[in-house]
């Protein structure tokens, strides 16, 4: 077998520099508490934006694992520990979602009984949009994500000990269950947590749009983490062909996101139905129009044009800037989906937004780092590892 990275990996952050992550985490927590005191609507909405961002990132990392087990693709085996470690954030994201329940009255219009009583549309939707059922669904979605991802990771790591093929077969079955379950649960989670912020509005393309955004962001973060780990002296077995495949994923899902953005916007614009156009009317108003355009430029046009040449998909140096841009762009996309429901006059991106995102990012990286060193960095006894190590060699 080809020599692989040391079984006991260095961490992304050393024990000394790792304390630097505590700084943005503490500042982010202070920003949230201060926001609850000063402007609670804004603070709770920022919690929703940031937690949906990182929780969606963690569970969609499970999709990366599942789709390669199902397809029998060998090339990502060498880097599989990265998405496995990313899924470790799911229970922490669950905790933040439960915290959001305390602020649900500040976030969701349909939680106000007096508003529902005066609104025929909300009254008709009250059988679905009510807090007890909302909480039950939240527990069900996150519980299924956590259990299936944990089982896939457990089987993968158990294979490091005995090398049994049965673990791969078990994960094939779990991946099939997870893929179907994710499609259903992520659809309704997107509707519950984000689309219901504008309870009079609806779009049948919205869950697909959310899925595309989550996927391109997951690939961008995965690639960025791989680059950072390589700069720590790890994953030397990863070659340009691995990066090329990751770059093709980023390119493809970025374009898919743009296709869905255009399809949703064009169909609503063309049909011109008031209960549909109201969503984009706010986001195309004077206050929001600049970010509305920036969203498309950052998430579609720049990645598309930048990654069009094959050589730009093949090295960490050329992939790094576009990954960083997409990571910011995904946050902006969620911000534009969430904030106009309460702040129709325009955006207010300031200290709260910056510090809360930085704090949640620091927390995510800390959880990822701890999970990554919990197993061998490369699954050396996986039956596909030789194919991965000699990818296009």
Chain mean pLDDT for the chain: 92
Kindly indicate the confidence band of residue 4, based on its pLDDT and cuts at 50, 70 and 90.
low
How remote is the C-alpha of 276 from its chain's centroid? 26
CA angle 63, 180, 190 (to 5 degrees): 75
Q: Is the pLDDT of residue 18 over 70?
A: no
H-helix segments, the chain = 22-38, 40-71, 81-86, 90-102, 104-107, 113-118, 120-125, 131-162, 165-193, 206-230, 240-271, 274-283, 289-296, 302-307, 316-338, 351-372, 385-389
Instruction: Write down the pLDDT at residue 200.
Output: 92
Kindly indicate the confidence band of residue 2, based on its pLDDT and cuts at 50, 70 and 90.
very low
Kindly indicate the confidence band of residue 393, based on its pLDDT and cuts at 50, 70 and 90.
low
Q: Is the pLDDT of residue 91 over 50?
A: yes
Count Cβ neighbours within 10 Å for each residue of 166-197 and write b for 16 or more, e otherwise: ebbebbeebbeebbebbeebbbbbbbbbbbbb
The percent of residues above 70 in pLDDT, for the chain, comes to 95
Q: How far apart, in whole angstroms, are the C-alpha atoms of residue 295 and residue 288?
A: 11
Instruction: Write down the pLDDT at residue 224.
Output: 96
Instruction: Write down the pLDDT at residue 6.
Output: 52
Closest to 83 (Cα-Cα) out of 223, 233, 190, 247? 223
Which residues, including other chains, have CB under 8 Å from residue 36's CB and lie 6 or more apart?
Answer: 43, 44, 103
Instruction: Write down the pLDDT at residue 11.
Output: 55
pTM of the entire structure? 0.94
Kindly indicate the confidence band of residue 13, based on its pLDDT and cuts at 50, 70 and 90.
low
Instruction: Write down the pLDDT at residue 3.
Output: 47
* Mean pLDDT calculated for residue range 19-23: 81
C-alpha dihedral sign at 283, 288, 292, 293: positive
The percent of residues above 90 in pLDDT, for the chain, comes to 88
How would you class 281 by CB atoms within 10 Å of its CB: exposed for 0-12, middle for 13-18, buried for 19 or more?
middle
Which residues, including other chains, have CB under 8 Å from residue 166's CB and lie 6 or more apart?
Answer: none
pLDDT tens string 202-228: 899 999 999 999 999 999 999 999 999
Instruction: Write down the pLDDT at residue 391.
Output: 85
Asked if 11 and 18 touch (Cβ cutoff 8 Å), the reply is yes
pLDDT tens string 337-363: 999 999 999 998 999 999 999 999 999
C-alpha dihedral sign at 21, 23, 24, 25: positive
Asked if 364 and 70 touch (Cβ cutoff 8 Å), the reply is no
Instruction: Write down the pLDDT at residue 1.
Output: 45
pLDDT tens string 107-142: 999 999 999 999 999 999 999 999 999 999 999 999
pLDDT tens string 248-283: 999 999 999 999 999 999 999 999 988 889 999 999
Q: Is the pLDDT of residue 10 over 90?
A: no
Instruction: Write down the pLDDT at residue 36.
Output: 95
Q: How far apart, in whole angstroms, are the C-alpha atoms of residue 247 and residue 223?
A: 8
Asked if 240 and 223 touch (Cβ cutoff 8 Å), the reply is no
- In the chain the first and final C-alpha atoms are separated, in Å, by 15
Q: Is the pLDDT of residue 17 over 90?
A: no
* Mean pLDDT calculated for residue range 154-170: 95
Q: Is the pLDDT of residue 66 over 70?
A: yes
Rg (Cα) of the chain, in Å, rounded? 21
Residue 124 DSSP SS3: helix
Residue located via tokens 């743009």: 258
Asked if 379 and 81 touch (Cβ cutoff 8 Å), the reply is yes
Which residues, including other chains, have CB under 8 Å from residue 369's CB and lie 6 or more apart?
Answer: 11, 12, 13, 18, 85
Kindly indicate the confidence band of residue 335, based on its pLDDT and cuts at 50, 70 and 90.
very high
* Mean pLDDT calculated for residue range 293-318: 94
């Amino acid at each position: 077998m080809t020599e692989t990275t040391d079984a006991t990996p260095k961490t992304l952050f050393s024990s000394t520099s790792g304390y630097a992550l505590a700084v943005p985490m503490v500042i982010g927590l202070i920003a949230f508490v201060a926001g609850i005191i000063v402007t609670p609507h804004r603070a709770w909405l920022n919690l929703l934006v940031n937690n949906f961002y990182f929780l969606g990132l963690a569970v969609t990392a499970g999709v990366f694992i599942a789709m390669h087990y199902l397809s029998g693709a060998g090339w990502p085996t060498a880097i599989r520990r990265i998405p496995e470690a990313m899924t470790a954030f799911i229970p922490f994201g669950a905790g933040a979602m439960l915290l959001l329940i305390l602020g649900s009255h500040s976030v969701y219009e349909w939680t106000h009984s007096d508003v529902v009583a005066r609104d025929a549309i909300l009254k008709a939707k009250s059988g679905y949009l009510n807090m007890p059922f909302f909480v039950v669904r939240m527990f069900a979605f996150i519980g299924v994500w956590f259990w299936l991802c944990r089982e896939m990771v457990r089987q993968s790591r158990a294979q490091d000990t005995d090398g049994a093929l049965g673990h791969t077969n078990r994960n094939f079955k779990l991946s099939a269950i997870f893929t179907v379950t994710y499609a259903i649960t992520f659809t309704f989670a997107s509707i519950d947590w984000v689309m219901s912020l504008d309870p009079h509005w609806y779009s049948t393309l919205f869950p697909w749009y959310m899925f595309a955004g989550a996927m391109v962001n997951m690939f961008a973060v995965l690639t960025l983490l791989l680059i950072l780990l390589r700069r720590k002296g790890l994953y030397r077995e990863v070659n340009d062909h691995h990066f090329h495949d990751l770059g093709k994923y980023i390119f493809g899902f970025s374009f898919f996101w743009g296709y869905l953005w255009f399809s949703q916007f064009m169909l609503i614009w063309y049909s011109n139905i008031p209960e549909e156009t109201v969503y984009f009317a706010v986001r195309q108003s004077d206050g929001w129009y600049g970010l509305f355009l920036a969203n498309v430029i950052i998430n579609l046009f720049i990645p598309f044009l930048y990654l069009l040449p094959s050589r730009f998909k093949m090295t960490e140096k050329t992939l790094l800037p576009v990954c960083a841009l997409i990571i910011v762009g995904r946050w902006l996309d969620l911000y534009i989906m969430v904030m106009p429901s309460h702040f129709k006059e325009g955006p207010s991106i300031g200290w709260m937004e910056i510090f809360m995102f930085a704090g949640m990012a620091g927390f995510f990286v800390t959880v990822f780092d701890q999970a990554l060193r919990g197993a061998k960095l490369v699954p050396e006894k996986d039956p596909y590892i030789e194919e991965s190590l000699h990818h296009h060699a």
